Structure 1
């Protein structure tokens, strides 16, 4: 495997020097190749899904594995959207004269080689490959065994498209054996960033077994707080969308917090709407005095269900809601529904998360919806990149200093030459 990784490193360096037009032409070639291979990709995915059903793959993973025609079309649209975005490479972030004819520039450049390990999610292959190419990075992909046929078909189409461009096809590689994961995690000399996408246990395992920097999040425990000044119908609609639009997603809500003053009006409508969508509600004692639902326990507040289950808790104030989120939140996405501007401002300022929303669904926490074209994943780290990671999260920078025989000795000693430090 080391030979293949070195190959990606080599061809990734070639990719890093290509101009914007060449990369965009490659992305369009990929989109066309994926469209041409649509039947083969969907057939491969059907094979994976049939095996997954025999293996009794958990529901949330199966939802991520299944690749419908519309899901495939959306992923291909994402490839084209990435092509339409500004090139993140070669931006001059700093241009400063240190002295006459001594000029400093800070310029964005690719990271190098990305190692992306994911469960199910065959659409991630298209998203990540597109972002890697546009940002000038080589990429090594390792999908879960449950998506093996899908990943092979997609990468085959991607490489077929790249053969019609100047981007080296071998700048994108697919690993197919589970044993290759551990070897990949040791290759810190050749791989610059690991991006895991999967369950909590999976991401934590990756983080614990490599010295390569890891971008991602282990938990996606998202909350929606319905304030006493919320519009009840609006709050119900947002809650239903945030839970049921795609319950297996990491940005779906797992806990709903409701102010005690609005609970009697809100909870019956919520229960009716959620029941119609097949959602199991689990509530605290106060909730169960208002609606007939299952009892929640302490574990429910700390659980990422990725399923049609929602924990509900009544709180006496925004302070209590903030305290609950601070205790159980994972730093992913938190939302409030309220018509009170001051309360909304307090929530937005005090919640510590990658995404903090007001009067809208947490499901908007997504690179494509943010206009990033796609995302390689969502990071809940405090340091950037944070939230959905698109092109800007896949670049670093270098300092370029150009002089005319300048030496430091001239700027030290008893009569040092002064710096001008003039910004252009």
Structure 2
């Protein structure tokens, strides 16, 4: 048996002093993108979000060096049971480190429970329910794009104050639609307006005639749609067919996406107002990313897809900074580092998990105003982050109490 030398003891001491998390488990960082790949929200998120994640990985390749990154993709079909089965398998069997996008409120709330149990990271895209960063907030769950409060605060406050003070809602009959309607009603009432009615439609609805006729009969000054994707497209096509585009009622989308405008046609969507977390034609940086994305996807990126590029990049930078894919180390680094990229400037992750960034109040241009394909939005206002999100003092996220105690 060889004697233990002083150099051996010193080497052992140095190794023991190294951070336990300074390594990549299994030699690879695994990301799982799960969303609606083929249903009503596929254009808004779907394959485009998976592409955005892959683009972020590719763009980080020089910095990543020998660090391997794998991207898995799955379709949850907007079914919580399907989504949770996939996510649990990813964590337990495939050793996925973080899941991205999700893009469905019911699925996201289920995923939030899973990441708490298994201590994993989730980077949510267009998840509307405020419960995700409210009562169900998680230390490792981050809402990157928007929630219902941020989407409705701009148009509900601005339009109501401008005299468009009676609202009727046509909404999808699941967690997202119901949460959007409730948040909008809160804002309308607080600003002197009134919600005169609401009607909820099933996910797979294609005939909106009965819903639109009820909205028309309400004589509300605003008809607000709390749905998206193919649902909004079909509803607006029938809005035009019924001659409601020529009427006095103002259409507002509580979740407006450029892909929906493109699918329906600008002649159908013109005059529709809404809030967007991001727009491709805002500045040189957004346009540069959008052109690269378009070359591969043949459509301009949505706010959700741009957000997933940003979230992936921020996550991988945290992995590099900590030399680890350990959940606690990476999540802490993400929280302590501002986000500055083509998606958001000087944005920060709040203690409730929201990425606090500015929003845009937009209106779809008329055919005469639009100069080219995808030139669809007029930006009427920038809503600063401190106005867009629910104040932390009003949040019911349990994490805030512990954060306040730490600060003392």
TM-score (normalised: structure 1): 0.29
Larger Rg: 1
Larger RCO: 1 or 2 (CA < 8 Å, sep 6+): 1
